[in-house]
Amino acid sequence: MIRRRWAGLLLVLAVFGAACTGGGDDGGNGGAVNKRDFRFVVVTHGQASDPFWSVAANGVKAAAEDMGVQVEYQAPDTFDMVAMSQLIDAAVASQPDGLVVSIPDADALGPSIRAAVAAGIPVISMNSGSDVFAKLGVLVHVGQTEFEAGLIAGQRFADEGVKNAICINQEVGNVALDLRCQGFEKGLGQKVPVIPVDLADPTGAQETVAGVLQGQSNLDGILTLGPTGAEPTLAALDQAGLLGKVKFATFDMSPRVLEEIDKGNMLFAIDQAQYLQGYLPVVLLTKYLETGALPLGSVDRVILTGPQIVTQATAAQVVDFSAEGLR
């Protein structure tokens, strides 16, 4: 009996060990020898299991390999600003050579970021926080502004003659996504209801969209905020026979989305080039430590990586990159 109990515990440890060693990409500088003796920590609000952030994390890893530096990628399990500030504090305590953060909530994260700056750690922000980074002492911002991206999407929809649109949010509570819908509404110039769906339940998402389609016969535009919202929507439109008839566009890309854009069933995808949001800050920090130089960016040290619209004209070129986790 006691032996069996030990066997059970050993099994747990074995599985655990497998889990821990299975994902070695976070410590990444791959096979390259450390050419530079720098260690950076990246703290974002998005888990690598999220398709969007997975691409950004891939950018971080690639930059670490290319620069020959050690980089750790950290993020809280869910969209949790308190947890994120604790991660930043922990990172600061480990005395890295540089820190990269996203700033979805300046009030919640401000104190932690200021503490990092005060400790003499150079900080570069990415993805969100383009309007607040400077006053927190952050050196450069690499990203796109969510609200403006939504605005552009809304304007494009208005140009296409859309009058009644919905915005499908697959991760309620994520501030960045809320900003996208708000911008979209402003750009369209009409009231846009936000329809929540569960990114982990594609069947539910599909039926929700089907229900909305059924209930609003004058619906002529749909915006989704990511591939886990876009693909069930495609299924719902297909089932209702409305594929290509309702104007449909999305944020972020996946090979399937790009194929549908290529076929003309979707209008466009908004690309943030989040790969570059992960890649560039690591490069910039490395060079800053070595030379003290910083880019000016498009204005006030903001390097915009988006929004870039991928339309039918360019979709086919991007598919392969998307399939490799680079776009």
Partner 1 sequence: MATETAPPPAVARDERVRRVRLVSRLLSRPELGAVVGLVVVWTFFAVIAFDNNFVSWAATAAILNRAAPLGILAVAVALLMIAGEFDLSIGSILGFCGMAIMLLVTPVAAGGFGWALWPAILVALVLAVLTGLVNGYLVITTRLPSFIITLGTLFIFRGLTVAITRLRTNRTQLGNLDQVAGFDLARKLFASKLTLFGSTFSVSILWWVGLTMLATWVLLRTRQGNWIFGTGGAVDAARNVGVPVRAVKIALFVTTAFAGFLVAVIQAVQFTGSDTLRGQGQEFQAIIAAVVGGCLLTGGYGSAVGAAVGALIFGLVQQGIVITGIEGDWYQVFIGGVLVIAVILNNFVRLKAARR
Which residues contribute to the site for partner 1 (CB under 8 A)? 4-5, 7-9, 11-12, 15-16, 18-19, 22-25, 47-51, 54, 57-58, 169, 172, 193-196, 198-204, 206-208, 210-212, 214-215, 227-228, 231-232, 235, 239, 254-256, 323-326
The runs of H, that is alpha helices, within 264-314 are 274-291
Among residues 11 and 118, whose Cβ is nearest to partner 1? Answer: 11
| Smallest distance from partner 1 to CB 285, Å | 22
What the block records as the tokens of 263 is 């076929």
Secondary structure letter of residue 326 according to DSSP: -
| Smallest distance from partner 1 to CB 283, Å | 19
User: DSSP letter string over 117-171?
Assistant: HHTT--EEEEES-TTTTGGGT--EEEE--HHHHHHHHHHHHHHTT--SEEEEESS
E strand intervals along 2-144:
39-43, 70-74, 98-102, 123-127, 140-143
Among residues 18 and 293, whose Cβ is nearest to partner 1? Answer: 18
| Smallest distance from partner 1 to CB 114, Å | 32
Amino acid at 217: S
Among residues 48 and 302, whose Cβ is nearest to partner 1? Answer: 48
Among residues 54 and 74, whose Cβ is nearest to partner 1? Answer: 54
| Smallest distance from partner 1 to CB 54, Å | 4
Strands across the sheet with 194-196, in order?
Answer: 194-196, 165-169, 221-224, 247-251, 269-271, 308-310
Strand, helix or coil for residue 62: helix
| Smallest distance from partner 1 to CB 288, Å | 27
What the block records as the tokens of 90 is 């922990």
Among residues 160 and 324, whose Cβ is nearest to partner 1? Answer: 324
Structural contact between residues 224 and 230, judged by C-beta atoms closer than 8 angstroms? yes
| Smallest distance from partner 1 to CB 3, Å | 9
Among residues 205 and 302, whose Cβ is nearest to partner 1? Answer: 205
